[in-house]
């Protein structure tokens, strides 16, 4: 297994299949794929994938970095879309990805890293030092 930065070809080489295990996914038009790619691959964010021996994506995670007016203009990170293909769960792939995303957040000077997870995954993230903090809110627009 290899953990590396995501590349454009990974989108159709297993990434969408892995993400489909997080939430319902639908086909993405080519122009939307390009817009998403351009937005996420801006140099501030980090998109990691785990590649299996067959060359397909078997795990993924994203670090979104934003600048804050608070605290003198520092950066904050948010981890999102951490997923492992069910055939590869329990092998530590997600752990390696999360640890790498935390390391990258430190290197980018983020003063904190947040994430949102289901209650059933809370204890898994606590192993990395995450603690429950405030309340997540959501407004569905579509």
- In terms of Cα–Cα distance, which of 121, 122, 123, 103 is closest to 113? 103
Phi, psi of 2 (to 5 degrees): -125, 130
- pTM of the complete model: 0.91
Residue 23 has pLDDT above 90, yes or no: no
**What is the C-alpha separation between 134 and 86, in angstroms, rounded?**
30
The reported pLDDT for the residue numbered 9 is 93
Distance, CA of 105 to CA of 48 (rounded, Å): 13
Give residue-wise pLDDT tens across range 71-121.
888 999 999 999 999 999 999 999 999 999 999 999 999 999 999 999 999
Answer for the pair 57, 49: CB distance below 8 angstroms, yes or no: yes
Q: What is the mean pLDDT of the chain?
A: 92
Quick one: pLDDT band at residue 25, thresholds 50, 70, 90?
A: confident
User: pLDDT category, 17, cuts 50, 70, 90?
Assistant: very high
* Of residues 116, 113, 91, the one with CA closest to residue 103: 113
DSSP for residue 81: E
Each residue's pLDDT tens digit, 42-51: 888 999 999 9
Taking residues 10-17, report their average pLDDT.
92
What is the pLDDT, as a whole number, of residue 74? 93
What secondary structure does DSSP assign to 60-75, as a single string? EEEEEEEE-SGGGT-E
> What average pLDDT score do residues 127-139 get?
90
């Amino acid at each position: 297994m290899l953990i590396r930065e995501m590349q454009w070809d990974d989108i159709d080489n297993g990434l969408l299949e892995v993400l489909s295990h997080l939430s319902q996914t639908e086909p993405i038009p080519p122009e939307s794929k390009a817009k998403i790619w351009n937005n996420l691959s801006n140099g501030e964010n980090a998109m990691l994938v785990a590649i299996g021996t067959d060359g397909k994506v078997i795990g993924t995670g994203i670090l979104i970095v934003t600048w804050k007016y608070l605290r003198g203009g520092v950066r904050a990170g948010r981890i999102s879309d951490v997923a492992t293909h069910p055939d590869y769960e329990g092998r530590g792939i997600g752990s390696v990805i999360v640890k790498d995303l935390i390391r990258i957040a430190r290197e980018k000077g983020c003063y904190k890293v947040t994430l949102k997870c289901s209650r059933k995954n809370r204890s898994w993230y606590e192993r990395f030092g995450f603690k429950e903090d405030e309340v997540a809110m959501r407004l569905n627009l579509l």
